Amino acid sequence: MKYLIDEIYKSVRGLVPNAELCDGAEVELEGWVRTNRSSNKIGFIALNDGSCFQNCQIVYEEDKVANYADVAKFLTGCSVKVSGKLIITEGAKQPFEVNAAEIELLGDCDASYPLQKKRHGLEFLREIPHLRPRTNTFMAVFKIRSVVSQSLHEFFRQNGFVYIHTPIITGNDAEGAGECFTVTTREDGNYREDFFGKHACLTVSGQLHVEPFALSFGKVYTFGPTFRAENSNTPYHASEFWMIEPEMAFCDLKGDMAVMEAMLKYVINDVMKSCPDELEFLNNFVAEKHDLISKLESVVNSDFKVITYTEAVDELIKSGEKFENPVSWGMDFNKEHEVYICEKIAKGPVFLIDFPKDIKAFYMKLNPDGKTVAACDLLVPGVGELIGGSQREENFELLDRRMDELKMEKETLDWYLDLRRYGGVIHSGFGLGLERLLMYVTGVANIRDVQAYSRTPKNLKF
Amino acid sequence: MKYLIDEIYKSVRGLVPNAELCDGAEVELEGWVRTNRSSNKIGFIALNDGSCFQNCQIVYEEDKVANYADVAKFLTGCSVKVSGKLIITEGAKQPFEVNAAEIELLGDCDASYPLQKKRHGLEFLREIPHLRPRTNTFMAVFKIRSVVSQSLHEFFRQNGFVYIHTPIITGNDAEGAGECFTVTTREDGNYREDFFGKHACLTVSGQLHVEPFALSFGKVYTFGPTFRAENSNTPYHASEFWMIEPEMAFCDLKGDMAVMEAMLKYVINDVMKSCPDELEFLNNFVAEKHDLISKLESVVNSDFKVITYTEAVDELIKSGEKFENPVSWGMDFNKEHEVYICEKIAKGPVFLIDFPKDIKAFYMKLNPDGKTVAACDLLVPGVGELIGGSQREENFELLDRRMDELKMEKETLDWYLDLRRYGGVIHSGFGLGLERLLMYVTGVANIRDVQAYSRTPKNLKF
């Protein structure tokens, strides 16, 4: 009977018991050889089939396996089919192994295989994105990326949010002026004659396009790729990344923050429950200070605090701390300030709210003081800003005036103003960069290592 | 106490009983006026808050509501807040209504509002994509789009598939030569000096990029936007659409078809359970023959048949039917043939398998006959092809030779060949166009009406 290694683990660990999988059961496994070592009489293969993080130890003995000498030569990377007896090894490091009766080579792998039994550097592995998911680190990272993404959909569905696919190709580059990729079928920049009859670019955010759906369905979200043609090579920037942007009608900034907190806790809890082996590996071998799990636990167990931008400025000045960028009201905080606020002042996850309007986007709701807007950034220890959100300006006159102040081309956004003309209501939303969340949840330090095939300047080999 | 209309419906229908929501309960609702009619003494508002397809009837009486005369003038599209008593109306057409004590105007809406109480044509509504989700048709369609998408993620997660985000920007235009959008930051076609240092384009399929992950995790899928710069204006083509592309290692064509069938039944069952009101509306007002629900029921209750391409050719010729395109072995079937095969020969959903290699992609597995490949199309009544899949050629020599035969540039796909060099295994996958599935599930005839903001030639206003 054919099984996945994950099924056996779940049964032996009592998570999904399967009476068929008792000691001595005949099982058949297919997977890839991670390591293979042998003596004259007995050999051991660590077999991985991708269904779970753990390998299964295959024991093969010279007097039981007909092609013993061949099997002993199977190299790392070979794919094999194994038939044998399941041996439950209670108390041992690995809770079971398979004693092989037959081992068949499915696909050979020679010594030119780039993944050998040693630690490979992350930079080297970036050169082989098609093979690196076969390593422990990337198997853990991409499994968690999947669980986080699926978990986000679950959270939103359970809470009555409608999933909207906002467009990738857009004619509005209002938000990302100068940082947009052009989409074209021409080579001469003549956009009037172009495919869409005008200049087209890749979206930098789905927010403006998702707002109309919040004003129809109440609670919605978009979850898709976004793009920045920013020519910067840092560990935090990629040209293509995924964003989650929920938007809620009849919801103010306070309600917005409640959703962010609930969403984050839901997803982190799911990862801790679904990927314990992956997290343990990342905690021990990837997270610099081995504090990954304790960090995640403290997030789900804490009540997120709230402080205003103005309070934060006062506290930062009062602290007497020497910052690289001196603090004054009106400035945009840098990572040094965010980390200080989070780790020293709030001592945990904290919402920073009510920012000066001039450092925030045009659509954010003006507060009664006339100089701040109802925006918030969620700061978390170690990372700084994880999520940014705001209540949107629902008042037609105020939004119209703000767009004039900023000399925006209102014609292309007239439809956006319609949402304030026709039955407008208080609404709020936020944007969460999937990769930033993943770097936080996996402890991985470079955005290139949480993306299947990362796109950065001058880098498009695969 | 603030409620969503959906919560009240679910409670009154006994789906999610809430003891607080008894007859006479004080409730507060926020939503949009769909219709408003009144006499001197009493008025009725059909209120929709987007949480469910159904409106809630608000009854307001002149002697109870202080601003009666104002409320009577609220136009379609206004947003309001209503406080009042929940009245359970057992046996009535609507199972409950709210008797208002207070109605407050949140956002006004004047008579210029494009959505009035009458049936609007779909073409007119395409001109206002930011407002059409407030209509019954589009509220039903986009809710189902959301449920289908979330349900696909659920199906794959429950079955152990890892969700991979394959890249949107790619340097491989092998598959879509000539139909790719270029992604650039230049206006002179000098791609060597371009952002990525080479020609970049928008992906036409994630398949090649997801295969490496199947050969790591076993079962994976990608679900994201894909693009075609095809200059065709038909009801079935859009320049941007979403694809689901699962890929499974240790899986042959038979296993591939089993996943397609299970996936389709899972999703359709979920829609029938989650969106009964939406389906009923679409069945009655959108599906041309009012056979939408019976069609979906017959799919989930049937066992999908399998016939070979060669058998189908024989049957089509034997039928004596006059087809616009005459039938002969080696041809690619048109919709007329697919519909005949599905409706007259198989009388239900059917997998057509083993196509001539020359009408299929280079990566499909050559059958022992040397002239057909292990590919399949799933045909469903009324639509024709819904899903296309295949077993992939895992044999290095055969794939290499095929790429030579087709004069493909192998250099840029050397990494793809690596998957056959290093521990290759039998693997299969398929591609499902989300929009095609949605047209099938909603009965909507034009792809533009199942997309939030459709992108087609010369059409990029929003």
Residue in chain B lying closest to A172 (CA): B462
At residue A174 the predicted structure's pLDDT band, cuts being 50, 70 and 90, is low
The full DSSP string for B76-114 is: TT-EEEEEEEEEE-TTSSSSEEEEEEEEEEEE---TT-S
For residues A192 and A318, state if they share a domain: yes
Best residue of B3, B55, B130 to probe chain A, by most A CBs closer than 10 Å: B130
User: What mean pLDDT comes out for the span A43-72?
Assistant: 97
**Is B50's CB within 8 Å of A182's CB?**
no
Q: Domain containing B213 — which CATH number?
A: 3.30.930.10
Q: Does B28 touch chain A (CB under 8 A)?
A: no
Question: Exposed, middle or buried, B21 (CB in 10 Å: 0-12/13-18/19+)?
Answer: buried
**Is B142's CB within 8 Å of A217's CB?**
yes
For residues B365 and B410, state if they share a domain: yes
The full DSSP string for B308-366 is: EHHHHHHHHHHT----SS---TTPPP-HHHHHHIIIIIISS-EEEEEEEGGGS-TTBPB
Q: What is the least distance, in Å, from the CA of B249 to any CA of chain A?
A: 9
Residue B91 scores a pLDDT above 90: no
Domain membership of residue A291 (yes or no) is yes
For residues A418 and A316, state if they share a domain: yes
Q: What is the mean pLDDT of chain A?
A: 95
Q: Does B185 touch chain A (CB under 8 A)?
A: yes
Provide the whole-model pTM. Answer: 0.97
Any bridge partners for residue B373, and if so which?
A: B355, B366
B24 near B85, Cβ under 8 Å?
yes
Residue B39 scores a pLDDT above 70: yes
CA distance readout (Å), B332 to B312, B335, B360, B436: 12, 10, 9, 19
Domain membership of residue B12 (yes or no) is yes
Q: Does A167 touch chain B (CB under 8 A)?
A: yes
User: Tens of pLDDT along B427-437?
Assistant: 999 999 999 99
Domain membership of residue A455 (yes or no) is no
A237 near A228, Cβ under 8 Å?
yes
Residue type, A427: H
Domain membership of residue A454 (yes or no) is no
| B:200-229 residues touching chain A, CB 8 A cutoff | 200, 202, 209, 212-213, 215-219, 224-225, 227, 229
In this structure, the strands spanning B350-356 and B200-202 are unpaired
Give residue B324's domain range: 132-449
Question: Exposed, middle or buried, A117 (CB in 10 Å: 0-12/13-18/19+)?
Answer: exposed
Residue B331 scores a pLDDT above 90: yes
Rounded to the nearest 10 degrees, the angle between the axes of helix A414-421 and helix A396-405 is: 150
A126 near A135, Cβ under 8 Å?
no
Domain membership of residue B86 (yes or no) is yes
Percentage of residues in chain A having pLDDT higher than 90? 92
User: Tens of pLDDT along A134-166?
Assistant: 999 999 999 999 999 999 999 999 999 999 999
Please report the pLDDT score of residue B382 as a whole number.
Answer: 77
Nearest to B181 among A109, A183, A421 (CB): A183
**Residue A372 — φ and ψ, nearest 5°?**
-120, 165
Reduced 3-state DSSP string for B112-142:
CCCCCCCCCCHHHHHCCCCCHHHCHHHHHHH
Q: Which of A107, A140, A174 is the last residue of a domain?
A: A107
Residues on chain A touching B184 (C-beta within 8 angstroms): 181-182, 184
User: Tens of pLDDT along B93-152?
Assistant: 889 999 999 999 999 999 999 998 788 999 999 999 999 999 999 999 999 999 999 999
What is the distance between the alpha carbons of residues A274 and A79, in angstroms, rounded to a whole number? Answer: 27
Q: Does B95 touch chain A (CB under 8 A)?
A: no
Would you give the DSSP letter of residue A344? I
Residue in chain A lying closest to B81 (CA): A250
Residue B206 scores a pLDDT above 70: yes
Best residue of B217, B221, B254 to probe chain A, by most A CBs closer than 10 Å: B217
Residues on chain B touching A422 (C-beta within 8 angstroms): 77, 107, 109, 113, 131
Q: Domain containing A66 — which CATH number?
A: 2.40.50.140
Q: Which of A45, A73, A107 is the last residue of a domain?
A: A107
Please report the pLDDT score of residue B177 as a whole number.
Answer: 53
For residues A246 and A386, state if they share a domain: yes
Q: What is the least distance, in Å, from the CA of A415 to any CA of chain B?
A: 7
* Residue in this structure with the two tokens 């409620």, named with its chain if needed: B3
Question: Which residues are CB-contacts of A268 (< 8 A; sequence separation ≥ 6)?
Answer: A296, A299, A300, A441
Question: Which residues are CB-contacts of A14 (< 8 A; sequence separation ≥ 6)?
Answer: none
Domain membership of residue A59 (yes or no) is yes
Q: What is the least distance, in Å, from the CA of B432 to any CA of chain A?
A: 16
For residues B14 and B136, state if they share a domain: no
| A:288-307 residues touching chain B, CB 8 A cutoff | none
User: Tens of pLDDT along A268-288?
Assistant: 999 999 999 999 999 999 998
What is the distance between the alpha carbons of residues B171 and B412, in angstroms, rounded to a whole number? Answer: 8
For residues B140 and B103, state if they share a domain: no
Residues on chain A touching B79 (C-beta within 8 angstroms): 423-425
* Residue in this structure with the two tokens 């092989």, named with its chain if needed: A100
Residue A294 scores a pLDDT above 60: yes
Q: Which of B56, B90, B107 is the last residue of a domain?
A: B107
Sheet arrangement for strand A200-202: A169-170, A200-202, A182-184, B182-184, B200-202, B169-170
For residues B91 and B221, state if they share a domain: no
| B:376-395 residues touching chain A, CB 8 A cutoff | 394
What is the distance between the alpha carbons of residues A253 and A426, in angstroms, rounded to a whole number? Answer: 10
With the C-alpha atoms ordered B143, B144, B148, B149, is the resulting torsion angle positive or negative? negative
Q: What is the least distance, in Å, from the CA of B26 to any CA of chain A?
A: 19
User: What mean pLDDT comes out for the span B278-306?
Assistant: 95
For the stretch B56-73, what's the b/e string if a residue is b when 16 or more beta carbons lie within 10 angstroms of its beta carbon?
bbbbbeeeebeebeebbe
Question: Exposed, middle or buried, A311 (CB in 10 Å: 0-12/13-18/19+)?
Answer: middle
For residues A103 and A139, state if they share a domain: no
**Is A164's CB within 8 Å of B143's CB?**
no
User: In chain B, how many domains are there?
Assistant: 2
Residue B178 scores a pLDDT above 80: no
What is the distance between the alpha carbons of residues A251 and B2, in angstroms, rounded to a whole number? Answer: 12
User: Tens of pLDDT along A359-414?
Assistant: 999 999 999 999 999 999 999 987 889 999 999 999 999 999 999 999 998 888 99
What is the distance between the alpha carbons of residues A201 and B178, in angstroms, rounded to a whole number? Answer: 19
Q: Does A337 touch chain B (CB under 8 A)?
A: no
Count of Cβ atoms closer than 10 Å to residue A191 Cβ: 16
For residues A28 and A156, state if they share a domain: no
Q: Does B175 touch chain A (CB under 8 A)?
A: no
Instruction: Give the E-state strand segments of B192-298 in sequence order.
Output: 200-202, 219-227, 240-249
Please report the pLDDT score of residue B172 as a whole number.
Answer: 75
**Chain A, chain B: beta-carbon pairs less than 8 Å apart:** 303
Please report the pLDDT score of residue A411 as a whole number.
Answer: 87
Domain membership of residue B88 (yes or no) is yes
Question: Which residues are CB-contacts of A447 (< 8 A; sequence separation ≥ 6)?
Answer: A235, A236, A237, A238, A241, A435, A436, A439, A454
Task: Report the candidate in A328, A288, A278 with the shortest Cα–Cα distance to residue A144.
Answer: A278
State ipTM: 0.97
CA distance readout (Å), A87 to A25, A27, A84, A112, A289: 8, 10, 9, 34, 37
Please report the pLDDT score of residue A78 as a whole number.
Answer: 98
For residues A160 and A45, state if they share a domain: no
Structure tokens at B278: 């939406």
For residues B205 and B162, state if they share a domain: yes
What is the distance between the alpha carbons of residues B360 and B357, in angstroms, rounded to a whole number? Answer: 5
Would you give the DSSP letter of residue B406? T
First to last CA, chain B: 38
Domain membership of residue B456 (yes or no) is no
B58 near A225, Cβ under 8 Å?
no
Task: Report the candidate in A233, A171, A165, A178 with the shortest Cα–Cα distance to residue A202.
Answer: A171
**Residue A276 — φ and ψ, nearest 5°?**
-60, -40
Q: What is the least distance, in Å, from the CA of B117 to any CA of chain A?
A: 15
For the stretch B394-433, what's the b/e string if a residue is b when 16 or more beta carbons lie within 10 angstroms of its beta carbon?
bbbeebeebbeeeeeeeeebebbebbbbbbbbbbbbbbbb
What is the distance between the alpha carbons of residues A446 and A122, in angstroms, rounded to a whole number? Answer: 9
Any bridge partners for residue A60, and if so which?
A: A43
At residue B409 the predicted structure's pLDDT band, cuts being 50, 70 and 90, is confident
For residues A229 and A353, state if they share a domain: yes
